[in-house]
Amino acid sequence: MKCTELLERLNYTVVKGSAETDISDVVCDSRRVTEGALFVCICGANSDGHRFIPEVAEKGAAAILVQEDHMPDDLPENVTVISTEDTRYGLAAVSAAWFGYPAEKIPVIGITGTKGKTTTTYMIRSILENAGYRVGLIGTIEAIVGDEHIKAVNTTPESYTVQQYLRRMIDAGQNCAVMEVSSQALMLKRTAGIPFEIGVFTNLSPDHIGPNEHSSFEDYAACKSLLFRQCRVGIVNADDPYTDLILKDHTCEVETYGIRSENADLRAERIEHTSLKGRLGMKFDLTGRLSFPVELDIPGLFSVYNALTAIAVCDHFKIGEDDIRNALKGASVKGRIEPVHVSESFSLMIDYAHNAMALESLLTTLKDYKPKRIVCLFGCGGNRAKSRRFEMGEVSGRLADLTIITSDNPRFEEPEAIIADIVTGIRKTDGQYVTIPDRKEAIRYAILNGQPGDVIVLAGKGHEDYQEIRGKKYPMDERVLIREILDEEGLR
């Protein structure tokens, strides 16, 4: 492909060489440069791609895209050098061109918000696939590209990878894509140039504010709002206090959903908590633009919001009531209040809650079901802020009837030292607790001591299927551990 073709939607200046140069690949990692590649210099938090210009030239790069304000004094010979204002945007533009603008060939649904993105993407995918669509997914847990499930590194990958996934989805016969769009991704132009068919806003609360993330809550909100200048239809939570801020300067059609807002286009009314044979869920009546009853096998009011979002999106695809209801009834997300059936007399679930805010939200939700006891099993990661351990211990001690403190990812710390810090937090409360460092044995204790009416939650690991100890990841999936325990104890 000619360099000019890659640059056709980008403002640029040819500093030296020719834009008619043939390009064999597009890369932003100097280690992946091969003969004839276009190397895009990215200014990252820890490294500046401009430092590697001599190296990539020596490897045979045909062209280099540099940022105007980072132009090196010495440029290599025999390499085309092109400058642009923002190479992050430049990478998105040339990646889209390299893969043939795949986002213009299938509808792409983007979801942003502090919480609810992951569950909502899976709900949308479940409904659409139930109605016959083939849906690709990009998110926190994984990317689903054709029949392949690719573990995620970032919620939203680098722009080259996003475009590559979209192209592979089309090649695999998928005719729709749904993706989580993080504030970081919007800030770093990872989704720049994608004409989202639908953009979704779930909710907003302070998060991801600090070094290498967002400088302030205002910046965090401003980045999320960018999605609504990049989509055809914006579907937003009418109940969230920051919705007007998110919609500032929007250029899309706007639709709303909610529970409290009487003017929302879709509403949930007559909401009930359900509990049957160890499964917790919700049911409600959908009103407004659509009207029918909905049941979920996922607990919590936030699950109702997620379902409303999914319904609002899928209504644009003319999905029938039966397909929506059937898909939502069976929808679940790995590691997000994921029910695991071990008994008909008590409930057990796995959740990714790994900080105090998430754990408080989870345990408060479970209290709405008025269980006999809430049993909370969790640990904390090593080589992370000790304050998280104190805070999570205090939250569990205050809200759970019994806390089982165990190991998470100890990394380079001793599990017992991490547990001791959690105990420091829990002792600020009157909560009962036990400490069992081996996670499998801790889960065994929880199951064997489960009482009728209990809700047991295994918190912190969620979708993770490993335990990180001294720089190595060992296989450890809580679902596998549960099956092993049930077999070993003759419980199934």
> 219: domain CATH number?
3.40.1190.10
Instruction: Give the span between the Cα atoms of 122 and 137, in whole angstroms.
Output: 8
Residues 16, 146, single domain; the answer is no
Determine phi and psi for 444, rounding to 5 degrees. Answer: -60, -45
**What is the structure's pLDDT at 173?**
98
In this structure, are 348 and 459 located in the same domain?
A: yes
Which SS3 state, helix, strand or coil, does residue 360 take?
helix
Token pair belonging to 258: 């909610």
Would you give the end-to-end CA distance of the chain in angstroms? 59
| Residue at a domain's end among 58, 82, 98 | 98
* Domain boundary, last residue among 98, 113, 137: 98
Alpha-carbon distance 325 to 336, whole Å? 20
For residue 476, the model assigns a pLDDT of 97
CB 74 within 8 Å of CB 16:
no
3-state secondary structure of 339: strand
Tokens of 141: 């847990």
Look at the chain and report how many structural domains it folds into.
Answer: 3
Alpha carbons 63 and 46: distance in angstroms, whole number: 24
- Domain stops at, among 286, 309, 330: 330
Same structural domain, 356 and 454: yes
**What CATH code is carried by the domain that includes residue 12?**
3.40.1390.10
pTM equals: 0.92
Beta-strand relationship, 466-469 and 374-378: unpaired
Range of the domain at 40: 3-98
Q: How would DSSP label each residue in 18-80?
A: -TT-B-SEEES-GGG--TTEEEE--B-SS-BGGGGHHHHHHTT-SEEEEEGGG--SS--TTSE
Provide the pLDDT for residue 85: 97
Beta bridge partners of 214: 209
- Residue that the structure tokens 């917790």 belong to: 280
Please say whether the dihedral angle defined by the alpha carbons of residues 447, 449, 454 and 456, taken in this order, is positive or negative: negative
Q: Which backbone phi and psi does 61 adopt, to 5 degrees?
A: -55, 135
Do residues 110 and 252 share a domain? yes
Q: Which two tokens stand for residue 468?
A: 């990180």
Measured over the CA atoms of residue 296, residue 298, residue 304 and residue 309, the dihedral's sign is negative
358 with 255, same domain: the answer is no
Q: Are residues 326 and 361 in the same domain?
A: no
Give the domain CATH number at 364: 3.90.190.20
Q: Is the domain of 90 the same as that of 226?
A: no
> Residue 370 in 3-state DSSP?
coil
What SS3 class is residue 418? helix
Same domain, 439 and 315: no
Same-domain pairing of 123 and 266: yes
Same domain? For 59 and 40 the reply is yes
**Mean pLDDT per 10-residue run, the chain (492 residues)?**
97 96 96 97 88 95 96 89 97 98 98 93 97 97 96 93 98 98 93 97 73 72 94 98 95 98 97 89 97 96 97 97 95 92 94 93 96 98 93 98 98 97 98 98 98 97 95 96 97 84
Contacts with 254 (C-beta within 8 Å, 6 or more apart), sequence order:
233, 234, 235, 236, 247
* Residue 355 sits in the same domain as residue 484: yes
241 lies in the same domain as 208: yes
**Contact of 121 with 179, CB cutoff 8 Å:** yes
User: For 313-351, what is each residue's pLDDT tens digit?
Assistant: 999 999 999 999 999 998 989 999 999 999 999 999 999
Cα–Cα separations (whole angstroms), residue 57 to 15, 26, 50, 54, 65:
15, 14, 11, 5, 12
Average pLDDT, the chain: 95
